[in-house]
Structure 1
Amino acid sequence: MTAAHPTLASLADDLAAGRTTARKLVEDCLGRIADPAGEGQRVFIHVDRDAALAAADAMDALRRANAAPSRFAGIPVSIKDLFDIKGQVTRAGSRALEDSVPAETDATAVARLRRAGFVVIGRTNMTEFAYSGIGINPHYGTPKSVYKREVGYVPGGSSSGAGVSVADRMAYGALGTDTGGSCRIPAAFNGIVGYKPTQSRVPLDGGIPLSSSLDSFGPLANSVACCAILDAVLADEPITALVPRPVKGLRLAVPTTVVLDDLDDAVAKTFERALEILAKHGALIERIEMPEFFDVGVMNAKGGFSPAEAYAWHRYLITSKGDVYDPRVAARIMRGASISAADYIETVAARPSLIARAAARIAPYDALVLPTTANTPPKISDLAADDAFTRENLRALRNPSMINNIDGCAISLPAHRAGEIPVGLMLAQSGGNDRKLFEVAAGVEGVIRS
């Protein structure tokens, strides 16, 4: 990473050497958030200015006393508005929860970040109730992707503010959620790294659910190693050095089923260039059929998990406050009202076999490799009509949602070159192979934009 986009490790080194302080890092982030020429007002729903400065001062004092809770203590991170933070209202990007009681405790994921000494700088904007991969929010505004700000491209969702907060250095890491791509899509659309862990890896308490079957909590950051550090903290595991796997000899499978269909020209071109680079560096690339990706559509044909499970959570709130919901979100939630219990149970029953078959398919390979999204970030102005929005939303969600359905883990890396429209390269593994995937991704990251 460049000095403009430092890694967590480089920031930790600077803190340890006295080249910077936690207060300086927080003040710099707060300055970028407050910049009237920037996206801060749309990226953040709430900024914890006083609390962040106080936490930074505390971390600086602990470091001077050789008592910092980790070498990363004092580094600012942002928290998606879906998570409980003690004393704050969790709005989930909505107006429907504005009068809710403030949270009594931090979500476990937030508490673990704090315990490691990370400084919570604020709550980031998101698609209302996390229900879209585009990132448009009619209540709090839509932050623009880093690409050609003067034009205005969508940031990706649902962790829209999370992605832009990292890309614009308003935070050096972000806590997001991923039900069908909500960490990976904003990463792809903003040229950063986003990680979706195996679902069981990070506790889901303290986060407003979208789909209890598919939800997972993960990080967005500037590098694979940064995401690995944050993932270890979130999973309550020791932070260990990430050793990249050499690209030479990696066995990478390119699924040809569904996920290569209907790609934007820039996505197809960038993806094929990435494969050529990996092959040049000695990766063994095999194109394989993956019928399990077709079977995801079959399993979800009667509605799937998200509408049914979202409706179960929202049915009383949307009855009393549906008039303040984003109409596009409300429409998707209400689809769950027509899904029968029998159809839902049938979907639940079909999933274990799908997960097992997908794991067996992936087992011979170090990772699957595929485009993160079928599309590049669309222009915000092009999505005013509902049909255009629906089309691009489905194209953004299609590929990443495959991994949620098979309960895998996946990471999106930037694959485009400077000046090109952002395109993400996704690497994926079956559930439980998170550490292996980080090692493979770190190796791929080292060559992919050469």
Structure 2
Amino acid sequence: MPSSCLTAAALSRAYAAGAADPVAIAEAALSKALAAPTVFLTTTPERARSEAAASARRWREGRPLSALDGVPVAWKDLFDVAGTVTTAGSAVFAAHPPARDDALLVAAGTRAGMVCIGKTGLSEFAYSGLGLNPHFGTATNPALEGGRRAPGGSSSGAAIAVATGIVPIAVGTDTGGSIRVPSAFNGLTGYRASGARYSREGMVALSATLDTCGPLAANVSDCIAFDAAIRAIQPPSATDASAFAGTRFIVDPNLFERYAVTPAVGENFERFVARLEEAGAVVERKPLAVLAAVSDLVRNQGWLGGLEAFAVHRALLDSPDATRIDPRVRARLEANRSVPAERIGLLIARRAELISAFARETAGATLVMPTVAHVAPLLGPLDADPELFARVNLQTLAMTMLGSFLDTPAVAMPSGIDADGLSTSVQIMRPQGDDDALLRIAAALETKGL
């Protein structure tokens, strides 16, 4: 966890004890957000101040709406926030009228008392795993070689907002890895929820089949607190670390060569697995046929998310405004133009089969694997060379795309650092819809200091 990170749990305890004031916390967050225009594309000062003042009154009266009442939150600029333009990181969309209503997930956050600070930057249309944006500027983390490393995407601003201590929780979206990749690059925890867990109404779509969302935070505890607050349920009780013994994990040894996992990532992954075993977990190393099948399907038939993204943006691509799209994003979208439209239906049908196969093959165990095969790459060369950008982007997303295709709930969490101090990450994954079990296991890992 970056040292600058503020945790939602610590804020909640401070509010309850009268040791912190939601108004002062909101003002500090707004001040930092306004000073970071590539991180926050829009700030909502009037709303934040009003929400913070109401929260302060509730805490004084001992009636908070949730454990996260008064906690500052940021929303990726794919979510509608009433009175603001939802840009999706696009210069074209920046001319759209302001949203009339909050997205349903934003509204749920408001009902839980969270304080909306504003909306964060992203790759255009959320269609890149590296986080670059030529229209609004690329958010960078000064702790990563003075901002010389790519932030990860597409939820780049969300990650930097948390990593630099502006807000303790930022909400991103994930179609192929857009929560998990920036979490990995910036030493954060990111939770990709199963597709059906949270409403996507009022969220700009990229892929109707693969889109989902979730929080980026300093730790698992804050992700779980967000999940409980958004769903208006009581947070789970503290995890009993002793219950972790015997928990089953699977490691697929074929992934490391298939995705060219770098030595630093691989070594930190093995240390993480060793700590699992020392803590009493049972780790089975075996190839999973379903993961090989997904890899082959994507290679031979194309990426479902790309095909659906092209369909979403085809009218724009066919218009004069196409020239205003980031050329790298436009090229990726256009690569899907020649694919027969019926391919989408084929991939959706095959996906359903493979989702079932994953549940059968893991048989109650949790899959653990690296989140990204490498650490955050240098930003300058990616910005200067479109071919390098395209190649590194695919390498960056390759291991997270597996879970996206299979709709696995996934938690990405730090596994260590390399010799240059850059973060590495692991992700744990369970079958579609098994989010509660996944979060319990993630909490147990955190409790045990893994």
Q: Tell me the TM-score normalized by structure 1.
A: 0.94
Q: Please give the alpha-carbon distance, in whole angstroms, between the structure 1 residues aligned to 2:350 and 2:223.
A: 32
Q: Give the SS at the match of 1:169.
A: coil
- Counterpart of 2:443 in structure 1 is 442
Distance 1:24 1:437, change over 3 A: same
- Counterpart of 2:406 in structure 1 is 406
Q: Give the SS at the match of 1:41.
A: coil
Contact 2:6–2:165 under 8 Å retained in 1: no
Contact 2:239–2:447 under 8 Å retained in 1: no
Identity %: 34
The match for 2:247 among 223, 243, 250 is: 250
Q: Please give the alpha-carbon distance, in whole angstroms, between the structure 2 residues aligned to 1:28 and 1:187.
A: 23
Q: Please give the alpha-carbon distance, in whole angstroms, between the structure 2 residues aligned to 1:151 and 1:171.
A: 19
Q: Give the SS at the match of 1:415.
A: strand
Gaps of 5+ in 1: none
Q: Give the SS at the match of 1:423.
A: strand
Q: Please give the alpha-carbon distance, in whole angstroms, between the structure 2 residues aligned to 1:83 and 1:336.
A: 26
Q: Please give the alpha-carbon distance, in whole angstroms, between the structure 2 residues aligned to 1:95 and 1:42.
A: 14
Q: Give the SS at the match of 1:98.
A: helix
- Counterpart of 1:315 in structure 2 is 314
Paired amino acid for 2:275: I
- What's the offset of the Cα at 1:3? 8.2
Contact 2:172–2:178 under 8 Å retained in 1: yes
- What's the offset of the Cα at 1:245? 4.8
- What's the offset of the Cα at 1:236? 4.5
Matched, 1:342 2:337: no
The match for 2:125 among 109, 125, 129 is: 129
Paired amino acid for 2:184: A
Q: Please give the alpha-carbon distance, in whole angstroms, between the structure 1 residues aligned to 2:348 and 2:65.
A: 42
The match for 2:67 among 59, 71, 78 is: 71
After TM superposition, the structure 1 = structure 2 runs for residues 47-196 of structure 1, keeping only pairs within 5 Å, are 47-150=43-146, 152-196=148-192
Contact 1:86–1:103 under 8 Å retained in 2: yes
Q: Please give the alpha-carbon distance, in whole angstroms, between the structure 2 residues aligned to 1:196 and 1:86.
A: 25
- Counterpart of 2:377 in structure 1 is 378
The match for 1:266 among 264, 267, 280 is: 264
After TM superposition, the structure 1 = structure 2 runs for residues 178-327 of structure 1, keeping only pairs within 5 Å, are 178-243=174-239, 245-246=241-242, 247-258=244-255, 261-300=259-298, 301-320=300-319, 321-327=321-327
Aligned length: 444
Distance 1:128 1:259, change over 3 A: farther
Distance 1:318 1:275, change over 3 A: same
Q: Please give the alpha-carbon distance, in whole angstroms, between the structure 2 residues aligned to 1:293 and 1:146.
A: 36
1:56-91 residue CA offsets vs partner (Å, 9 max, x unmatched): 112112322334322321110000001111111100
Distance 1:230 1:213, change over 3 A: same
1:272-316 residue CA offsets vs partner (Å, 9 max, x unmatched): 111122222222211111111121133332223112211221111
Distance 1:151 1:109, change over 3 A: closer
Q: Please give the alpha-carbon distance, in whole angstroms, between the structure 1 residues aligned to 2:203 and 2:25.
A: 27
Q: Give the SS at the match of 2:280.
A: coil
Q: Please give the alpha-carbon distance, in whole angstroms, between the structure 2 residues aligned to 1:245 and 1:132.
A: 38
Distance 1:368 1:30, change over 3 A: same
Gaps of 5+ in 2: none
Contact 1:278–1:448 under 8 Å retained in 2: no
Distance 1:386 1:244, change over 3 A: farther
Q: Give the SS at the match of 1:346.
A: helix
Distance 1:107 1:151, change over 3 A: closer
Report the aligned-residue RMSD. 1.9
Q: Tell me the TM-score normalized by structure 2.
A: 0.94
1:168-198 residue CA offsets vs partner (Å, 9 max, x unmatched): 1111101100111111111111111000011
- Counterpart of 2:37 in structure 1 is 41
Contact 2:67–2:225 under 8 Å retained in 1: no
Q: Please give the alpha-carbon distance, in whole angstroms, between the structure 1 residues aligned to 2:390 and 2:155.
A: 18
1:364-385 residue CA offsets vs partner (Å, 9 max, x unmatched): 41x1110000111001012121
Distance 1:165 1:2, change over 3 A: closer
Contact 2:68–2:229 under 8 Å retained in 1: no
Q: Give the SS at the match of 1:42.
A: coil
Q: Please give the alpha-carbon distance, in whole angstroms, between the structure 2 residues aligned to 1:322 and 1:244.
A: 54
* Higher mean C-alpha displacement, 62-71 vs 291-300: 62-71
1:419-446 residue CA offsets vs partner (Å, 9 max, x unmatched): 7211111111011211111111122224
